[in-house]
Amino acid sequence: KNQVEQSPQSLIILEGKNCTLQCNYTVSPFSNLRWYKQDTGRGPVSLTIMTFSENTKSNGRYTATLDADTKQSSLHITASQLSDSASYICVVSARGGADGLTFGKGTHLIIQP
């Protein structure tokens, strides 16, 4: 069964600090991996998408990495801001089929001033 596991479940850091969120997956055949940001009370918004051949992708202060051999990804947030407080969801797509997405449960990040 395809699975996506995220850690930690929740995280609290001080404003200005860096943090790294983890995503491990067992999805086959792999197509791509995405990170979404979900603010409280809103729908998820895409941050990055990486295919098998990409091992890093940045979007401003967000940098995602992918190790397709170990089936791990990380999302690094640099110089955190209060607006980074949100849930971050890792989503892995399997090749073929319109319904081939497996969602992680998310990491709830709180940035404290």
Which of 19, 23, 32, 109 lies at the binding interface for another protein (CB under 8 A)?
32
Q: Does 113 bind another protein (CB under 8 A)?
A: no
Binding-site member from 22, 31, 74, 85 for another protein (CB under 8 A):
31
CA distance 72 to 70: 6
3-state secondary structure of 83: helix
- 42 vs 53, which CB is nearer to another protein? 42
Site for another protein contains 27 (CB under 8 A): no
Query: Whole-number minimum distance, CB 104 to another protein, in Å?
Result: 6
d(CA 39, CA 3): 23
Is 68 among the residues that bind another protein (CB under 8 A)? no
For strand 86-94 and strand 56-59, is the pairing parallel, antiparallel, or unpaired? unpaired
Count CA within 13 A, CB hemisphere, residue 4.
Answer: 26
Contact 84, 62 (CB under 8 A): no
* Total residues interacting with another protein, rule: CB under 8 A: 25
Binding site for another protein (CB under 8 A): 4, 31-32, 34, 41-46, 49, 89, 93-95, 97-106
